[in-house]
Amino acid sequence: MIEQFEQSLPHGITLSCRAAGERGRPVLMFLHGFPEAAFVWDELLEHFARPENGAYRCVAPNLRGFERSTQPADVKQYRAKYLVQDIAALIAAEGAPLACLIAHDWGGAVAWNLANQLPQLTQRLAIINSPHPGTFLRDLQNDPRQQAASEYMNFLIRPDAEQRLRDNDYQMLWGFFTRWGGAPWLTESVKQQYRAVWDASLNGGLNYYRASPLRPPRPDDPAAATISLPREALTVNLPTLVIWGMEDAALPPGLIEGLDQYVAQLTVERVEGASHWIIHERPQFIAQRLAGFLAA
Between the two ends of the chain, the Cα-to-Cα distance in Å is 27
DSSP readout, 225-264? GG----GGGT-B-S-EEEEEETT-SSS-GGGGTTGGGTBS
The answer to whether residue 180 scores a pLDDT higher than 80 is no
| Interval 49-65 mean pLDDT | 98
Q: Please, is 33 exposed, middle or buried when counting C-beta atoms within 10 Å of its C-beta (0-12, 13-18, 19+)?
A: buried
User: How many angstroms separate the CA atoms of 81 and 98, rounded?
Assistant: 19
User: How many angstroms separate the CA atoms of 142 and 147, rounded?
Assistant: 8
Q: Domain boundaries in the chain?
A: 3-224+234-295
pLDDT tier for residue 182 given thresholds of 50, 70 and 90: confident
User: How many angstroms separate the CA atoms of 207 and 78, rounded?
Assistant: 6
User: How many angstroms separate the CA atoms of 33 and 104, rounded?
Assistant: 6
Which pLDDT does position 291 carry in this prediction?
98
Beta strand pairing call for 266-271 and 125-128 = unpaired
**Closest residue by Cα to residue 49 from 77, 84, 25:** 25
Cis geometry, peptide bond prior to residue 35 (ω within 30 degrees of 0): yes
pLDDT tier for residue 179 given thresholds of 50, 70 and 90: confident
User: ∠ at Cα 58 (249, 70), nearest 5°?
Assistant: 70
Using one digit for the tens of pLDDT, what is the confidence trace for 137-172? 999 999 999 999 999 999 999 999 999 999 999 999
Which pLDDT does position 21 carry in this prediction?
98
User: How many angstroms separate the CA atoms of 172 and 152, rounded?
Assistant: 11
User: ∠ at Cα 282 (249, 168), nearest 5°?
Assistant: 55
Which pLDDT does position 281 carry in this prediction?
97
Close Cβ partners of 252 (under 8 Å, ≥ 6 residues apart) = 145, 146, 149
pTM, rounded to two decimals: 0.98
Using one digit for the tens of pLDDT, what is the confidence trace for 58-113? 999 999 999 999 999 999 999 999 999 999 999 999 999 999 999 999 999 999 99
Q: Identity (one letter) of the amino acid at 52?
A: E
Question: What percent of the chain is modeled with pLDDT above 70?
Answer: 100
Using one digit for the tens of pLDDT, what is the confidence trace for 183-206? 999 999 999 999 999 999 999 999
Work out the number of other CB atoms within 10 angstroms of the CB of residue 62: 27
The answer to whether residue 181 scores a pLDDT higher than 80 is no
Overall residue count recorded for the chain in this entry = 296
Domain 3-224+234-295 belongs to what topology?
Rossmann fold (3.40.50)
Q: Identity (one letter) of the amino acid at 201?
A: S
